[in-house]
Structures are given as C-alpha cells and as structure tokens.
Amino acid sequence: MRIGFIGAGKMALALARGFAEKMKPNAILASSPASDEVFLKEFRSHGFDTYHSNEFVARNVDTVILATKPSILPTIFKELHDTIQPNQLLISIAAGIPIKMIQESLSMGDTLKVIRVMPNTPSLVNEGVSIYSLNHQCDLKDQKIIEEMFSCVGSIYKIDETLIDAATGISGCGPGYMYLVIEAMGDAGVKQGLPRDLAYKLAAQTMIGSGKMVLQTGQHPAVLKDSVCSAGGSTIAGISALEK
C-alpha cells in the first residue's frame, strides 16, 4: 500500500512517522507548495518522497490523506477533481468538513470511499487519540486499514459522524484543557517552593498516570477519586476547594 499526504504540516509528519513503523518510508509520499519547502525538507529527512504537485501524489498512491487546513480544501478539491479514483481510499483529517461535502466537492457521489478522522496533537508523541467515521462505500478491509494506521500514533475509536464535533470538543480540544491544569498545578507547586521544571514534571506525570488508571481499571472516575480521599486528608481538602 502507498499513502499520499496532501499537505505536509506537523500533524501530517507525525502521522507519516507513525505509519512508517509498519511500512517502508518510500511508500509514503507528500505534496505541498514550494513555499512550504521547510516542511517538505523535514519529510525528506525521514526518507519520504515529496512533491509540489497534489495531482501527482494522488495519482500514484492507494490512499490519499487530506491534511491541509479546511480553508484550503476548496482549491484542493478543484485540483483533484479528475484525479481521485473510486478504487482509492480518501481520508480527511480536516476539521469541520463532513463526508458528504467531500463527496459532493469531488462530484463522485456514492462511488467514493471516504473516511473522516480527527487525530489530536499528542499524536506527535505517539500518545494521541483519533476518532473516525466512514461512509457506506467503505468495507471491513478499509476499517482495518484505518485502525492499523492510526493506532501507530495512539488510540483510535469509531463513532457516528454526527458525534464527531462533540467528540472533538473532548479529544481535539482536550489537550489545551489539560495543559491549563498542568500549568495551574505546577504554579501551585512553585508557590510552595518547588522548582518550576520539577513542579511541571510532577503535574504532567500525575495526569498521565491518572489517565492510565481510568483506562486500565475501567472504574468510574468518581470511584477512583474517592479511593484517594482519606477522611480529613489533604486530597479531600483540595477537591473541596476545587469544587467551590
């Protein structure tokens, strides 16, 4: 299988690096304008082939990944209008662009296999979470392909497309919320005399460990919270303050 990225930004590179763990680097192509040469150079440093022609990349791969900003997609659709074929798999990681719009923009109707995926930024360190929906033209083989690909950069979950925006509010925006919590916990540690770098490390690792506890135990967060709240202890005092 050959994969082609239309767009060569940070997320595209993170995905390409993850995919390369299970496939040869020369099976991964990327295209972007000459003005994005700095990004293409980074792609080439990992052994991936790069081009300035979106049409060329789309013509020479089995799976096309739209990895550009949503505002650029109308131009991309015009370029690829006569290039994308029904036997190819089209994956979009562009936020807010529904599958139906992609099908209509390429004038291929129900003949095009489309999968909409929303990865998040922790994919850059292979700790991301991606959510995806596929249209009726995709089969179990396509589902297996997408799950194998994106599991290289974290976890992936299939959901109905009507829920993607809601899920994005958690997984897509969530890292920003978590950084705010880490910063707040770190600042509190600094106020109590801890070195700032140590305070942030303690806060970040605590968040990682707590997340793993939820995932691996399967227990409700409230149960886990209660398990660390001793009567009259410091944890319950802190939670009481947070709940005010």
Does residue 7 have a known ligand-binding role?
A: yes
- Nearest CA to 1 out of 77, 79, 91 is that of 91
Has 1 been labeled as part of a binding site?
no
- 211 annotated ligand-binding residue: no
Does residue 118 have a known ligand-binding role? Answer: no
- Contact between 62 and 75 under an 8 Å Cβ cutoff? The reply is no
Would you say 109 is a known binding-site residue?
no
Q: Is residue 68 part of an annotated ligand binding site?
A: yes
Q: What are the start-end ranges of the E strands in the chain? A: 3-6, 28-31, 49-51, 63-66, 89-92, 113-118, 128-134, 154-158
Structure tokens at 70: 């949503």
**Residue 70 assigned as binding residue:** yes
Q: Which two three-digit tokens encode residue 56? A: 């060329």
C-beta neighbour count of 238 within 10 angstroms: 12
Check whether 67 is labelled as a binding-site residue. yes
- Write the DSSP symbol of residue 28: E
Residue in 64, 31, 37 with CA at minimum distance from that of residue 50: 31
Q: Which residues are known binding-site members for NADP(+)? A: 6-11, 32, 67-70
Q: Which residues are known binding-site members for NADPH? A: 54
Q: Which residues are known binding-site members? A: 6-11, 32, 54, 67-70
